[in-house]
């Protein structure tokens, strides 16, 4: 068999990638669903920001240029135009700006779900005082069926705002089917891709998503304090956010206090001075991900999740994540009898996971290996009292 050159062997690629994350020198990191690990290029980005501040005092032109480079990089990752992307501080910040632009008159209903991250529920519930009628698609056990959305998306629905992958059990929604349903009933579809973006291809045009939000700090491997909102080109100018500011203006540096002139691009959803240190930290992270390619990352992550699920099933552990590959992403959850003690016991062995709702979250990324999966399974074998088992 011909030898595979090192650079094209996917396993070697993942290993080279992992070497850029010093945490793996003495830990097994399985918590990207909370925060991506810190890489050397991201550290260098932070240092470059500090250096620019030291040397030039206030190089705002360069700092704003860096933010534009970040916008371009993110847009490329999701197959959008840079003008369709707002760079914000958090997902909440982006959603609040969008929500402030809805009028809820002809179509008051906003549909979200039991599986959405709380901030999404909070933001839409806060819109009730402005006339929104918030309805939740109801989950059953560990799944959110399309019928749950079909039951609540009606002709009065303005927006279906839901998650791609659920933060508390790893269930993955079918985005194309949701887009079809929303559009058929005259609504728009907003996807919160915070728990998937960075681990699988995301083509907003092919998926027919109208709005997509995500943040940089998890699987995109950037820092806290940066998030993104894609808004389909044809929709942008229909929105006039009352949650606004000078960075939302057509000409930011016109310093025109007397007039409100929204930028024609998605920048109209931005507000004040950008989070420059976080921008410097995040750009190298997005470039690392683009260099590997989201399809390569997806294949790697799926292989690891399959391995973990098979190992957990063999041992009779209680799996809370659906096993069908189409219904899950990078996060796999196991039932625990005492999740915080389990987390501590794993941490004592150098294995870093996280918990939600009394269950263990194991999240997988391109920097993880089959060895990591086997190590956590072996560690769980040694903690039988803390893991829940499938009822016989």
Ligand X SMILES: Cc1ncc(COP(=O)(O)O)c(C=O)c1O
CB 238 within 8 A of CB 262: no
Contact call for residue 92 and ligand X (CB under 6 A)? yes
- Contact segment (CB under 6 A) with ligand X among 38-46, 84-92, 288-296, 329-337 equals 84-92
**Per-residue contact flags (x/-) with ligand X for residues 159 to 188, judged by CB under 6 A:** ----x---x---------------------
Q: Residue 96 and residue 64: Cα distance in Å, rounded? A: 23
Site for ligand X in 219-258 (CB under 6 A): 227
- Contact segment (CB under 6 A) with ligand X among 191-199, 266-274, 287-295, 331-339 equals 191-199
Nearest distance from residue 360's CB to ligand X, in Å?
16
Note the Cα 258 to chain centre separation in Å.
37
Contact call for residue 195 and ligand X (CB under 6 A)? yes
Question: Quick one: 39 or 354, whose CB is closer to ligand X?
Answer: 354
- Contact segment (CB under 6 A) with ligand X among 85-93, 138-146, 233-241, 321-329 equals 85-93
Answer for which of 35, 43, 52, 119 binds ligand X (CB under 6 A) is 119
Q: Residue 130 and residue 115: Cα distance in Å, rounded? A: 24
Question: Quick one: 195 or 249, whose CB is closer to ligand X?
Answer: 195
Question: Quick one: 218 or 300, whose CB is closer to ligand X?
Answer: 218
- Contact segment (CB under 6 A) with ligand X among 87-95, 320-328, 361-369, 384-392 equals 87-95
**Contact residues for ligand X, defined by CB under 6 A:** 90-92, 117, 119, 163, 167, 192, 194-195, 215, 227
């Amino acid at each position: 068999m011909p030898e595979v050159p090192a650079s094209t062997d996917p396993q070697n690629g993942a290993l080279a990638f992992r070497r850029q994350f010093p945490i793996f020198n003495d830990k097994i990191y399985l918590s990207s669903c909370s925060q991506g690990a810190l890489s050397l290029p991201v550290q260098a980005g932070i240092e470059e920001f500090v250096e620019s501040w030291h040397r030039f005092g206030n190089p705002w032109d360069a700092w704003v240029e860096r933010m534009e480079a970040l916008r371009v990089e993110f847009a490329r990752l999701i197959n959008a135009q840079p003008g369709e992307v707002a760079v914000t501080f958090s997902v909440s910040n982006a959603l609040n700006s969008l929500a402030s632009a809805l009028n809820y008159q002809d179509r008051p209903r906003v549909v979200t779900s039991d599986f959405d991250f709380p901030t999404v529920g909070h933001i839409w519930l806060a819109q009730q005082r402005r006339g929104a009628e918030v309805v939740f698609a109801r989950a059953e056990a560990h799944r959110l069926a399309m019928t749950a959305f079909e039951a609540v998306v009606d002709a009065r629905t303005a927006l279906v705002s839901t998650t791609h992958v659920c933060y508390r059990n790893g269930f993955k929604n079918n985005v194309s089917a949701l887009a079809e349903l929303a559009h058929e009933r005259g609504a728009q579809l907003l996807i919160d891709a915070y728990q998937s973006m960075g681990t699988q291809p995301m083509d907003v045009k092919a998926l027919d998503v109208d709005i997509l939000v995500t943040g940089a700090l998890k699987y995109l491997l950037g820092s806290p304090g940066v998030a993104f909102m894609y808004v389909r080109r044809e929709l942008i100018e229909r929105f006039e956010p009352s949650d606004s500011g000078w960075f939302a203006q057509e000409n930011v540096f016109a310093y025109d206090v007397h007039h409100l002139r929204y930028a024609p691009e998605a920048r109209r959803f931005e507000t004040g001075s950008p989070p420059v240190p976080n921008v410097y930290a995040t750009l190298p992270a997005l470039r690392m991900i683009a260099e590997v390619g989201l399809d390569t990352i997806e294949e790697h992550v799926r292989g690891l999740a399959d391995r973990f699920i098979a190992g957990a099933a063999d041992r009779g552990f209680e799996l809370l994540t659906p096993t069908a590959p189409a219904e899950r992403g990078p996060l796999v959850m196991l039932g625990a009898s005492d999740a915080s003690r389990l987390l501590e016991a794993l941490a004592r062995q150098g294995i870093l996971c996280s918990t939600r709702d009394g269950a263990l979250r194991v999240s997988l990324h391109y920097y993880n290996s089959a060895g990591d999966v086997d190590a956590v399974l072996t560690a769980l074998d040694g903690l039988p009292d803390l893991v829940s088992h499938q009822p016989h």
